[in-house]
Amino acid sequence: MACCYQVSLGGGIVAVAASSFPVNSKLKPFPALKAELPKPMASDLSPDRSIFHDASSSNPRRDLVFIVNPRGANGRTGKDWKKLLPYLRSRLDKNCNICESLTSGPYHAIDITREAIREGADAVVAVGGDGTLHEVVNGFFWAGKPVAIHNREATRSTALGLIPLGTGSDFARTLGWKNDPHEAIDRIAKGLRSPVDVGVITGESEEESHYFINVADIHLSAKAGYFASRYKRFGNLCYVIGALQAFMGHKNQDLRIKVNEGEWETCSLVTALCIGNAKYFGGGMKITPNADPSSGNFEVVILQDFKWYDFILKLHRLYNGTHLSVKNVSSRSVFSIEVEDISGSGSIYVQSDGEHLGFLPRKFGILPSAIEMIC
């Protein structure tokens, strides 16, 4: 499926032909950006500075790439995005070049983000839910390192932006943002930046890294997320359906954990283990209520020996973030944690930001201030 890019010319957005990226393949040139985007200029990287240069700059127009999943939320994301374009033009056309890219399938946003950064985009904006944001965040990295801009003289990094339009907007909740795309566009127009932390996940080989900005989780909650992904057409109800399906045949498991490169310890009868860079997951559940994506640490919350009726009786506490005082719930602040299944069954689910990543063992580490975010 061909990918569509649109570039701002004067007072409007004009379609420009562009070839598509093959999913999960060697990256191809980014023709629309190559044709339109000027080389970035050196600028101050300090927080709370605009992504746009002032009018005295030799090139005041900045370059923003909007990555849209048109099929998100059962196609609602694509329809809502089209409705937003007039407002987006009215707020941004005077200051920047607007480049739009519609994803054609899973992982496509990762490839687009990497090439946009290499070509010198000032910001890459995820348009959609937490899944689209997750892919864009992964696109900021390549082979275990941040993606490098082709212009080595540039000192200003590409920022991350977000317009929440999908099924879940859990990361936006942590930042205190309303699920209002017009307010998101206003934030992008102001262009203020702040650094945010990113989590990195490695397996046994540690050769392949995966990144997350919100919450990673293990066992029951991860299994529920895996099943929930099949029912996205039902909106936030998908999380309830996924949880009910995950409970079928569920057994609490003994896990081994190593915190901050210390000694191994055993956690018995683990129901779920959640590693929060941010506070919310599962469509508004405040699972790691003390997590802060600018703190340099995760909050790890472990639920042990929960029965199905515990979730029914304590569900309201999980959603409002008051569950840390509940029996068999523990919390700690860490910068790294390794988790293993003592039984070695290879059947303990792992996910991050709602994306299924496979099974234990896994290691989770924090990358402080890894990305600058428009906020």
* Catalytic residue numbers, as ranges: 130
Residues 6+ apart with CB under 8 A from 191: 49, 50, 51, 52, 62, 123, 374
Query: In whole angstroms, what is the distance from residue 16 CA to residue 90 CA?
Result: 20
Query: In whole angstroms, what is the distance from residue 215 CA to residue 130 CA?
Result: 10
The closest of 315, 114, 96, 133 to 221, measured between CA atoms, is 315
Residue whose pair of structure tokens reads 């590409």 in the numeric block: 158
Spatial contact of 51 and 134, defined as CB atoms under 8 Å apart: no
Residues 6+ apart with CB under 8 A from 56: none
Spatial contact of 164 and 134, defined as CB atoms under 8 Å apart: no
The DSSP line for 238-288 is: HHHHHHHHHHTT---EEEEEEETT--EEEEEEEEEEEEESSS-BTTTB-SS
